[in-house]
Each structure stands twice: as C-alpha cells, then as structure tokens.
Amino acid sequence: MLGYAILVVAVLFNIYVLILLCLTSSRDPGVIPRNLHPPEEEFRYDSSVSVDIGGRQTPSLQFPRTKEVMVNGHPVRVKYCDTCMLYRPPRCSHCSICNNCVERFDHHCPWVGQCIGLRNYRYFFLFVSSATILCIYVFSISAFYIKVLMNHYHGTVWTAMKESPASVILMAYCFISLWFVGGLTGFHLYLIGTNQTTYENFRYRADNRLNVYNRGCLNNFLEVFCTKVKPSRNNFRAFVQEDVPRPPPQIISRESEPDLGGDPRSKVEDDLDIGEDLLKISQRRNIEEIDEDIRSRGSNGPAHNTSEVDSVLGSDRRAPTIRSEARHSSEGRSESWEISSEVLANSNLTETRGYVASKEVRQKLGGSF
C-alpha cells in the first residue's frame, strides 16, 4: 500500500511540473508591441546644424537616443530601440533571439524555448524549483528502496543494486539533474531576494550601481509571487492591420529658368540656309561669267560645252542635299546641335566641283578660239 502511495505522489508531482513548463513556454513573457513609426513627439530640430537640401539651408533633424525617467525617486536612463521604434521601459531589453522587446527581461531560456520576463517569471521559478523537488523526491525514494532490499536479503549494496537496476538508473539521473536545476533554483532565490534579473546581474555586476528596485527581501518576494500579473499588451488572435503609408514629404524643386537663347534647332537650320544661299550665289556668278564670255566671243564653240554647263548646273541641283542631310543629322541628335563633319565635307566637295568645272569650261572655250 505504501508503494502505491509513493507512485501516485510521483506521478501527480510530475504532471504538476509539466503544467508549469507549458505555462512558462506558452505564456506571453511581456512582449511590447512595436510601433509602425518612430515617436514624432520626440523629434526636434537643431538649427545649429543645417543640411543643404535643394539649394536651401534647412535645420537638421535630431532624435534623442536616450532619455531619463524617475523610478522610486531615482533617475533611470532608458534607450531607444531601432527595431521596435520605441523607448524601452525600465528593466526592458530587446531579445536578439525572439527579436522583441520584453518587459522586465530576465533571460532567454533555450530549454523552454521562450523568453523569461514579467508575465512568466513566476511560473519559470516554480517550474525550476518544482523540478528540483521532484529530483530530490525520486532520488530519496530510490535510495530508500535500495536500503529496503539490503535489509530484506541481508546482503550488501551491490546485491541490492543487482536486484533493482532501475533504482540505480533513477538515482544517477536525478543526481546529475539536481546539479543543474538545484543550482538554478538557488541562483534565482538570490535574484528574487535582491530584486534583480539575470540580465541586470551579469551586465551591471562590475558597475556597483545602486539597485533602485530593491524594496527589501520580504517585499521583493511578495512582488514576484503575490502581485497580480498584468494583462498582455498583444492580441495574438487579432487580424493583422495593414500599415497606412504616410504622405511623402514635399520636395522643393527649383523653378526652370526661361530659355532666352531660343530654339537651337531653328538656329542650326537658319545657319544651313544661309550657307546654302551663299553657295548658290557663288555658283550662279561663275555661270553668268561663262555665259557672258560665250556670248561675247560667239557661238562657234563645240557642242559639248552645253554639257559642261549642265554639269555645273548639276552641281547646283545637288546643293539642296546638303540641307536635307544636315537637317537629318541635326534632327537625329537630341543633345548636340553642332554641324556634322559629313555635312561640312559635302559642302566643301560641292564648292570644289563647281570651281573645277567652271575652270575646265573656260580653258576649253579659250582653246577653241
């Protein structure tokens, strides 16, 4: 009958430990909801530092990275979290694994897969201390059973261990586990008595800072175990709200200055027209001089003189191609309005042909007479 009672107590206590483990791992540790935008009320403009934006000097936007709050009559500096875009409350820290800011952050426990903070620290300590008590209970009952076997068989310890190898395995397992959970329980008893967190103890141990949260050993224990747990700030079953985009900032642009130089395309075309007219005038003047020579000397020249004149006139007919090619080259370029080298070469070639043709006609006419 005593054996069944021992077994029932062990099973119930084990269930109790598992319930505490589930509460620790599934409860919100005190995650602070993130802000969608930085707190605008903390913005300030520093007129001493200016930035050149759009040709105008504007004051630089400054954002304080820390600020001070009063805790139990003492100033405490709190930091701004860039990830959550908020000022962390006192004793709050950002967990790099969960990627959230947690109130009264103690540590991230890999054994339960959860951060330990304000809302689940009580259950975490009860889980660790209950596991310690369970290990002590199982180890003690197993050792007691070995003693009973020794008295029953009137033998040595080795004889009793051979009769119940399961008791030996349980004793070894509980002895090893007791060093971990037992040491953790003792450490957290010290932290609760001094009202510290694991994060604060490891980070500020060497700074010798005044603990502004310590209210005495008894009040510290009452704060952890007898105060009402704050409700969660998150509604994990709610639908995700879409982020409303902010209106884009106004961009100051310089007004376009009026173009006083006129259209460059029309200017280039006018220059080409003037050059073409001058070319035609020079060619026509040469033809008129040849015609006057022919009339003054008579019309007894050879028949092929008219073809020579036509060749000169042909060069005059080819002259408009300079304008079309030049216009095409000027229209093909959207940024540069300079006359291409091909147009200049064609114009020079046309002038050379006209001059050579007129010279040949004069020599032939002179030879015939």
Residue 29 has pLDDT above 90, yes or no: yes
Q: Kindly report the backbone phi and psi dihedral angles of residue 335, in degrees, each rounded to the nearest multiple of 5, phi listed first.
A: -115, -35
Q: Rounded distance, CA 286 to CA 305, Å?
A: 15
Number of H helices, E strands in the chain: 10, 9
Give one DSSP letter per residue of 49-107, joined into a string: EEEEETTEEEEEEE--SEEEEEETTEEEEEEEETTTTEEPPTT-EEETTTTEEETT--E
Nearest alpha carbon to residue 279 among 318, 328, 326: 318
- For the stretch 124-156, pLDDT in tens is 999 999 999 999 999 999 999 999 888 887 778
Query: Residue 238: what pLDDT?
Result: 81
pLDDT the model gives residue 116: 95
Extended beta strands in the chain, E state: 44-53, 56-62, 66-71, 74-81, 86-87, 93-95, 100-102, 107-109, 114-116
The tokens of 137 are what?
Answer: 């209970």
Cβ(77)–Cβ(67) below 8 Å: yes
pLDDT band per the 50, 70, 90 thresholds, residue 172:
very high
Residue 189 has pLDDT above 90, yes or no: yes
For the chain, which residues make up each domain, given as ranges? 1-31+107-226
**Residue 58 confidence class, pLDDT cut points 50, 70, 90:** low
Residue with tokens 């370029």: 333
Residue 115 annotated in active site: no
Indicate if the pLDDT at residue 349 is higher than 90.
no
Measured distance CA(122)–CA(325) in Å, rounded: 91
358 Cβ neighbours under 8 A, 6+ residues apart: 286, 287, 289, 290, 312
Considering 109, 115, 135, 174, which one is annotated as catalytic? Answer: 109
Residue 253 has pLDDT above 60, yes or no: no
Better pLDDT: 209 or 137 = 137
In DSSP terms, which residues pair with 70 in a beta bridge? 75
